[in-house]
Structure 1
Amino acid sequence: MVIQILIAVFLCINLLLIRTFFMKDFFYTTMRYIFFANTLLADCLILILSNMLLIFTFFNVTMQMWLCVIIYIVVSVYTSVTPFTLTAMTLERYVAICMPLRHAELCSRSSSVNCILIIHGLSSVSAIVLLSIFFASATSNVYTQYRVCSKVIFILYRWQNDLYSAVGQLYFLIMAITIIFCYVKIMKVAKSASGENKKSTWKGLKTVILHTFQLLLCLIQLWCPFIEAAVFQIDLMLYVNVRYFNYITFYLASRCLSPLIYGLRDEKFFHALKYCLRSNFKTPILPLK
């Protein structure tokens, strides 16, 4: 019940922020806000589908394998979309602070769309790796069988899980290097800046730090299966409790930070959000100020 309440609250907040995003032209023509909306949509989809699978597992509800394959593809892809988008948002802050003269050129609306397509392509790799082996090995009658939907049912060989984990660790390494690089470069600019530039740069640095913390929570998901597998060998009830803890901490908590970073800390978006609440969703266009 606690999880259902948390998910309902997060979904309401995210849907309100998505509504706010479409209220003003400035938001859906600016790269960082487009990326922000992308994370909100991905988080909403993940929360709905993962919660549905959680309920099905809790009550031992089965479904046909072909339907489980479709659900797993969506969940696997959009689980990776959020950390990739956070990394792209950090790069956008790096360009804005360290390369301000090229920011308009590199961070245009068309560039944002291309980046989102690349993010979805990269996010699909892990699902393709796991499912291609499953499709090659499974017999045709498997797809009509009824199972409790979980990633585990697609792992037919132990090395499959190792390969899947290797892809995840490679992602982690690439994202970590990108975050550290951007942080160091922005820190150098922050130290040498002065006046309003210094204030703006330090604000950008704080945003990068928040992105780093959120990204870390998202990427710890990659280590959760190893922890859960080790705990499963010790005690079944402890395993169940650890899985719930991981779900709340690394799935739910990591996805409630996006509203904090851009929904509350960003002045323009916060102003639009207040206007949206005051107008009670009745005013379609927010006047420019």
Structure 2
Amino acid sequence: MQNATEFSFNATSQKTSVIIKVCVVIPLFFVFLCCIAIMLHTFTSHRSFLDSSRYILFAHMLINDTLQILSSVLLFLCAMAQLRFALLLCVPLLFLSTGTFQNTNLILAVMSLERYVAIFYPLQRPTFWRSDRIWIIILSLWVISFTFPITEFFLGKQNPAADVLLSHVLCKAVVVNSLPVQGLFRAAVSVLFFAVVAVVILFTYVRILMETRKLRQDRASVRKALHTVLLHGLQLLLCMLAFTHPFTETLIVMHTKWLQEDIAFFNYFCFILFPRFLSPLIYGFRDQSLRKHIQNRFARHPQKVRC
């Protein structure tokens, strides 16, 4: 009788925990979508944004991070509900989540390089950095970002006899890509992405800083570019918080008696989800032109503004 009571209590406690986690994530998700929708609508409503490589790249980052958070939240809800579904549906969702996660870092590097090009080649930009050709760079980023998760999946040497339509699994990367070689490949790719992006941001920051000291005129625009590159470095650090989860899990296990699923949620919310919410919003609402247009939109149509 006591065992039945304890089981009933544990089941109720687990359901309550799941409800609380969902109620924390979903409202933030919709607030994020609301802010992104406002910014993207502002971009498409003003031709000046569409003629600027800088704003095109930023709009691309907003779309990419929206897809990343959308796929991440879907995977989170499936994990909370312990849903099992076919690999045919699970693998593309994992590809989207991983590819867009890595794509954010590449976009930050390209946005820093765009500021570098704008400072050092203000009158005659290279062809690929013009607003009508920037889509070539954007397409290249998508190809690079999705090459690595696809490669990681096929490193697993999936059984050709397995029917992807009938094989139902928990849709988690650690379940689908569970081999040691896949984990090693994933870690190597993460280090490579971080190193490349960090070097690019550091290079552009130092070069623009040196240019600031040389120029006697138009220092304001150069300093603004310098602050933008520094902000990209902050965004990179926020994105890289996702890779601290092995250390945070160890610390939490040592100092608390949390359940494994609670530790996983804490890491997911604090080091993956929240930085993704924060990063584009900081950059977007910091921009004076974008913020001015958004304020004007709210001032002119306060009763019509909806998320």
Instruction: Give the TM bin, normalised by the shorter chain.
Output: 0.7 to 0.9
- Partners of 1:228 and 1:239 within 8 A in 2: no
Residues 103 and 142, structure 2, Cα contact 8 Å, conserved in 1: yes
Is this contact kept in 2: 1:165–1:222, CA < 8 A? no
The 5 A counterparts of 1:1-289 are 1-103=23-125, 105-134=127-156, 136-137=158-159, 139-195=161-217, 197-224=218-245, 226-227=246-247, 237=258, 239-255=260-276, 256-261=278-283, 263-280=284-301
Partner SS, residue 46 of structure 2: coil
Q: How far 1:209 sits from its partner (Å)?
A: 1.0
What is the identity, as a one-letter code, of the residue corresponding to 2:261? V
Report if aligned partners of 2:249, 2:263 keep a CA contact under 8 Å in 1.
no
C-alpha contact (below 8 Å) 1:49/1:75 kept by paired residues: yes
Q: Retained in 2: the 8 A contact 1:64–1:145?
A: yes
- Please say if residues 232 and 239 of structure 1, whose CA atoms lie closer than 8 Å, have aligned partners that are also in contact: no
**Contact 1:21/1:37 (<8 A) preserved:** yes
Specify which structure has the bigger relative contact order, considering alpha-carbon pairs within 8 angstroms and separated by 6 or more residues: 1
Deviation at residue 180 of structure 1 after TM alignment:
0.8
Distance 1:227 1:193 in 2: 45
Does the CA contact (< 8 Å) of 1:98 and 1:185 recur in 2?
no
Contact 1:42–1:78 (8 Å) recurs in 2: yes
Give the C-alpha shift of residue 221 in structure 1. 2.3
Letter of the structure 2 residue corresponding to residue 264 of structure 1 = F
Matching residue's letter, 1:4: I
Q: TM-score under structure 2 normalisation?
A: 0.82
Following superposition, the deviation at residue 181 of structure 1 comes to 0.5
Instruction: Please give the secondary structure, in 2, of the residue aligned with 1:102.
Output: coil
Residue segments in structure 1 that go unaligned for 5+ positions in a row? 284-289
Structure 2: segments with no counterpart, 5+ residues: 1-22
Specify the structure having the higher radius of gyration (Cα). 2
Whether contact under 8 Å (1:169, 1:222) holds in the other structure is no
TM-score normalised by L of structure 1: 0.87
Please give the alpha-carbon distance, in whole angstroms, between the structure 2 residues aligned to 1:80 and 1:201.
Answer: 29
Change (3 A) 1:14 1:201: same
Corresponding residue pairs, total: 280
Q: 1:98 to 1:253 in 2, by over 3 A?
A: farther
**Aligned-residue CA RMSD (Å):** 2.6
Does structure 2 retain, via aligned residues, the 8 Å contact 1:130–1:154? no
Q: Is the CA contact (8 Å cut-off) linking 1:46 and 1:79 kept in structure 2? A: yes
Deviation at 1:229, TM superposition (A): 7.2
Cα deviation, 1:15-64, whole Å, max 9, x if unaligned, reads 11111110011212211111111111111112222112112211212222
Q: What letter matches 2:273 in structure 1?
A: L
State the percentage of identical aligned residues.
26
Contact 2:99–2:145, Cα closer than 8 Å, also in 1: yes
2:9 — aligned with what? none
TM-fit CA distance, 1:230: 5.2
Give the drift of 1:281: 9.6
How far does the alpha carbon of each residue in 1:130-149 deviate from its partner, in whole angstroms, 9 at most, with x for none? 11123544642354122221
One-letter amino acid matched to 2:290: F
**1: CA distance, partners of 2:258 / 2:68:** 26
User: In 2, Cα distance between the equivalents of 1:206 and 1:242?
Assistant: 36
